[in-house]
Structure 1
Amino acid sequence: MSDSNNEKDLIVEGKHADNERLKLDSNYLRGTIAEDLTDNLTGGFTPDNYQLIRTHGMYQQDDRDIRAERQKQKLEPLHNVMLRARMPGGIITPTQWLAVDKFSQDKTSYGSIRLTTRQTFQFHGVLKPDIKLMHQTLNDYGIDAIATAGDVNRNVLCTSNPVESELHQEAYEWAKKISEHLLPKTRAYAEIWLDGEKIEGGTETDDIEPILGKSYLPRKFKTTVVIPPQNDIDVHANDLNFVAIAENGKLIGFNVLVGGGLAMTHGDKSTYPRKADDFGYVALKDTLVIAAAVVTTQRDWGNRVNRKNAKTKYTLDRVGIETFKAEVEKRASVEFAESRPYQFTFRGDRFGWVEGIEGKHHLTLFIENGRLIDGPNSPLKSGVAEIAKVHKGDFRMTANQNLIVAGVAESDKDNIEAIARQYGLINDGISKQRQNSMACVAFPTCPLAMAEAERYLPGLVTKVEAILTQHDVSEEHVILRVTGCPNGCGRAMLAEIGLVGKGPGKYDMYLGGNHSGTRVPKLYKESVDEATILTEINQLVEHWSKKRNADEGFGDFTIRAGIVAEVKVSKRDFHA
């Protein structure tokens, strides 16, 4: 659609989705959650509260591995919740980490900590009697789970380990400011989980939501702060992105990118992954007012009739990019300047030791799939806890599910590395391919999963490594990502090879992303099993190894060789 100021193009008319009813009736996200907590006849929540607890950072789940057996026993599913913490920029102190570690060990069904692609941690398998204790324990250590899920602005990401540490500190502070500015102002979280206690860093407010509104947003909203040349947070997976622009090593402003998003629905061609559009440059002083203007424009214009088309990306495509941008400028009383030049050249994490400023060093640890648990011969979770006991800096959780031990003095490096090696947190044999592969959680906990992802990826990577070795490209890597469904949590729609779950053991196979994360891939094979996937990868890698140009990545080769067409404009090209 061309840009238009016609009022009928700005608001989608029709009966609102039921989620709009429950948000409006929730009394600013309270619902009857408190009453549900006292119902001992079930381990779950009522349907409305099942949705509302998401805005408090939780998803109701159950163990799908045992669901059928419980049904035979005429038992309800083993309901529990997954909690996702709010950690802007992914920074957590050693003291906080040890508290998280202890709770995960004592009060979760799986005893694990999961590092997520949203640069935070998740607890899996918390039963209803321990939910309130979980929130109160986190609050005691300055952590909350406000607005990490649901129709709100979620955890704000920030580049984890840039080349310039001073610039990172400035960018991180802005990530925190943006997070606080866009948070729900309701007291519901404190009332329900903290017995009305004041949240650290919060303020007493009346139940007024000046930015989010009484009905909150039409759909989830994701925001990032990124420092070029690293695109480690995948800007094109997010609704709103602030690309740091620096002069002489100091942050002076941001280029603002709007309208990225990866989720889609199988069989629905009105849904598609989409890159973000560059609106232009703003000075630092205008950051928060621009953030609020983008959010309120999406709040007012987003599709509240059809949730599958409710994200910011669809609003931009429906009303027109220039129309949306002009409205943001009007609401913010700020005009975007011409974008400042920048380039993304890399989006993985920089593993091993990296020297920062003031004699401090950062150690990035590879955590496969972000899952920290003690297994046979790999006590990873205990290893991080041992580091936390002696570490004087902080930890940084990355958007690629890894962990950085940050701010290590020169004199402490040997001790930190020795602990990491002792507990299997450093493995010099990890390939570049494994370091650049990623999966969402999927089975057994995610209710949306159609196929395996986290449990499937390690074995798949081993087979892909063998293919790379067979064709003499073992020192290269392909951005490989697997998701259990098309909702985008593992960011497969920015991969060079993306596998999206279609059913048990079946995946749609996408090709054509690139190393910098600036291109959406295209469907190559539909609903294929592992044997077919490996056959295709083998043939494709062979062609790539023999016919590629110098330094040509796998995804770039698949486009140039005509294996798949390039997706330039998602609405037009993705399903074509």
Structure 2
Amino acid sequence: MSDDKQLSPVEHIKLASNYLRGTIADGLADELTGSIAEDDTQLTKFHGFYQQDDRDLRSERKTSKLEPHYQFMLRLRLPAGVVTGEQWLAIDELAHKYANGTLRLTTRQTFQYHGVLKKHLRPLLQAAYQVGVDARGACGDVNRNVMAGAHPELSAVHREVHDWSQRISEHLAWKSRAYEEIFLEQPAAGEDHEPIYGTSYLPRKFKIAIAVPPENDVDVFANDIGLIAIVDNGELVGFNVAIGGGMGSTHGEPATYPRLGSVIGFATPEATLAVVEELVKIQRDHGDRENRKHARFKYTIDDHGIDWIHEQLDTRAGIRLEPAREYRFDRNGDPLGWRRSDDGRWHLTLFIENGRIADFDDAGFHRGQYPGPSGYKLMTGLRELAKIHKGHIRLTGNHNVIIADVDEADKPAIEELVAHYGLDDGSRYSTLRHSAMACVAFPTCGLAMAESERYLPSLITKFEAVMADAGLSDDSIVVRMTGCPNGCARPFLGEIGFVGKAPGKYNLYLGAAHDGSRLNKLYRENIGEDEILAELTPIIERYAEERDDGESFGDFVVRTGIIAETTEGRFFHDNVGSPEPA
């Protein structure tokens, strides 16, 4: 760790926090304000929530001499995104009782609540705890929600991978009793100790995902540690280990960049937990604690090199990885509709546009900006499914929901509800819309520079017309949009990516791989909708006419020189804005 004079302000806050307690309890008890102390806003992330305010109301409240309309975004910890029907119903109920009446599925396979008032934080977390769900470590400078492949072609392997997500999540969960004392109101129990994180925890957030080829539905290379399941004769024999993925960057600062994970070797099941723990500890000890923009594991790796990582694993823990095994990914999205696993059970994947679960009607959430006909009772339909479904419900890394483990005899009842509520099993919207994903952005995210969730659906409608005119209505192009460059919807893995620069203005990125194995690159900067459509329409038309058989859009724009290939994160900013050849 850097010496005390070099520590960033957040590092000082963590060190002085008494194992993440700070003055949070005092802030919750203060009824004179809807906010908590500024330093505590760094600590509450570890407990699963961020302080925000409604940016749509800022000017009005300032004019009225009122404090901002403070509220909180609260995220649950849900390894592999698996819940029972009973848990789904409880989580749904809490959204209406303590939040804004909607649920947001995240790109890390969990739920977010929006619009939670300070007085509702403790009762919400206590009620979630009663059904076996918590928010410990869902945010903050620790390992966050562990993702795992959601589509079980091989049921036994899928169960193992789910178990691994649980084991890793519990092993790397922070151990302080602060969460139990402050939010669950349980008595103090002994002296706190953090055997993995220490008193400073990690320099920045840390993310882990497990993929089961050929599905890369978790965008495994976007994680600090990506575990790629290697299956031999139907049995899980271990994992290829990829390290150093991360999407965040900062506009105008080329020293920051997205990076995809580098595969460094193969670990047997017996060695996997030790490998994961030691990689976390390497980042704990060597990550940058002075400059938070340089504090992710990806920069530690690029500063020191992959060989150095191998040396650290060996000298610190005697770990020597085997050579990586062969694998293949086909895509990084979700196959919608019914699929059957090898145990004979059925799994229905339903499309949830941008992850927002609500009942959309004339007075509903985002009505007039969000597509979906009047009376689209999405939240009610999913609630009714949860009431009758006997298996699990899985969240995917692409904002969608899987009604999983359905027996043949129970399919008709599921299908009847899907039809009754008009839920989208892949037949309601276009393939292009099914492949698109946006972050929350306005009105609640304090980092947003432009709209995302509220805007992308209408932009997709315009793209659908362009695709139809080009004869590509049934084709999939991965489209990602975020309101800022922090990367929550993984925009740098979009074959077409949009990153907010200012209200109504976006940086346009092209050229990511359809399977999530290559970053895109900046094509045009700071452009609005008319310019976006003018730039993309001729490229899409050319793609329709000149593509090779089976060639994805991302591969096409790289092959034809429309955009330069990004081979490594360090070269993300090289050859930016490559012009289309004459």
State the 1:535 CA deviation.
1.0
Aligned ranges for residues 292-307 of structure 1 at < 5 Å? 292-307=277-292
- Structure 2's unaligned 5+ residue stretches are 362-374, 576-582
1:12/1:492 CA distance change after superposition, 3 Å: farther
Deviations 1:395-446 (A, max 9, x none): 0000000000001111111111111221221362321111100000001111
Unaligned 5+ residue runs, structure 1? 1-9, 199-203
Shift of 1:573: 4.4
CA positional deviation for 1:370: 0.6
- With structure 1 as the length reference, what TM-score do the two structures score? 0.95
* Paired position in structure 1 for 2:403: 405
Distance in 2, Cα, partners of 1:83 & 1:210: 26
Q: Secondary structure at the match of 1:134?
A: helix
What is aligned with 1:37? 28
- Post-superposition Cα deviations, 1:134-184, rounded to whole Å, max 9, x if no partner, equal 110000000000001110000000000132121100011001000011110
- Conservation of the 8 A alpha-carbon contact between 2:49 and 2:72: yes
| Alignment partners' CA distance in 2, 1:546 and 1:13 | 60
1:419 aligns with 2:422: no
Give CA deviations for 1:258-298 in whole Å, capped at 9, x if unaligned: 00011000000100011111110011011111111000000
CA contact (8 A) 2:2 2:290 kept: no
For 2:194 and 2:295, locate their aligned partners in 1 and report how far apart those are by CA, in whole Å: 20
Q: Which residue of 1 aligns with 2:56?
A: 65
Q: Which residue of 2 aligns with 1:507?
A: 506
Counterpart of 2:121 in structure 1 is: 131
Question: How much does 1:208 deviate?
Answer: 1.3
CA contact (8 A) 1:88 1:175 kept: yes
Structure 1: distance between partners of 2:15 and 2:182: 18
Corresponding residue for 2:16?
Answer: 25
1:388 maps to 386
Residues 1:474 and 1:13: Cα distance change in structure 2 (over 3 Å): farther
CA deviation vs aligned residue, 1:98-131 (integer Å, no higher than 9, x gap): 11111111221x2101101010001101101111
The reply on whether 1:87 has 2:75 as its aligned counterpart is no
> Matches of 1:337 and 1:13 in 2, distance apart?
39
Measure the CA separation in 2 of the matches of 1:443 and 1:205. 43
1:176 aligns with 2:166: yes
2:580 matched residue in structure 1: none
Contact 1:186 1:205 in 2 (8 A): no
Q: Are the aligned partners of 2:155 and 2:343 in contact in 1 as well (CA < 8 Å)?
A: no
Q: 1:344 aligns with which of 329, 333, 341?
A: 329
Indicate whether 1:164 and 2:154 are aligned. yes
Report what 2:184 is aligned to: 194
Secondary structure at the counterpart of residue 398 of structure 2 = coil
**1:57–1:149 CA contact under 8 A, matched in 2:** yes
| 2:197 is aligned with 1:207 | no
The one-character-per-residue Cα deviations of 1:224-260 (angstroms, maximum 9, x if unpaired) are: 1110111111012110011111111111111110000
Q: 2:255 is paired with a residue of what secondary structure?
A: coil
Q: Is the 8 A contact 1:57 1:85 kept in 2?
A: yes
Deviation, 1:12, is 9.2
Which secondary structure state, in structure 2, belongs to the residue aligned with residue 66 of structure 1?
helix
Cα distance in structure 1, aligned partners of 2:191 and 2:226: 30
Asked if the contact 1:12/1:304 (under 8 Å) is kept, the reply is no
Contact 1:269 / 1:575 at 8 angstroms: preserved in 2?
no
Is 1:111 matched up with 2:101?
Answer: yes
The whole-number CA distance in structure 2 between the counterparts of 1:420 and 1:572 is 46
SS of 2:405's partner is strand
The one-letter amino acid of 1:547's match is E
> Equivalent residue for 2:7?
16
Residues 429/195 of structure 1: CA separation in 2 closer, same or farther (3 Å cut): closer
SS, match of residue 293 in structure 1 = helix
Q: CA shift at 1:328, angstroms?
A: 2.1
Q: 1:205 to 1:398 in 2, by over 3 A?
A: farther
Deviation string 1:58-104 (CA, Å, 9 cap, x unpaired) is 01111111111111111111111111100000001111111111111
Counterparts of 1:528 and 1:383 in 2: how far apart (Å)? 38
- 1:342-491 mapped onto 2 (5 Å cutoff): 342-376=327-361, 377-426=375-424, 428-491=427-490
Q: Distance in 2 between matches of 1:322 and 1:13?
A: 29
Instruction: Give, as a single letter, the amino acid of the residue that structure 1 aligns with 2:163.
Output: E
Partners of 2:406 and 2:201 in 1: how far apart?
A: 41
Q: Which amino acid aligns with 2:69?
A: L
Q: Distance in 2 between matches of 1:566 and 1:13?
A: 41
Map residues 212-231 of structure 1 onto 2, 5 A cutoff.
Answer: 212-231=197-216
Aligned CA distance change for structure 1 residues 141 and 493 (closer, same or farther; 3 Å): same
Matched, 1:235 2:220: yes
Give the letter for the 2:489 counterpart. G
**Aligned residue number for residue 322 of structure 1:** 307
1:76 aligns with 2:61: no
Q: C-alpha separation between the residues in 1 aligned to 2:175 and 2:191?
A: 8
1:12/1:305 contact within 8 Å kept: no
Number of matched pairs: 561
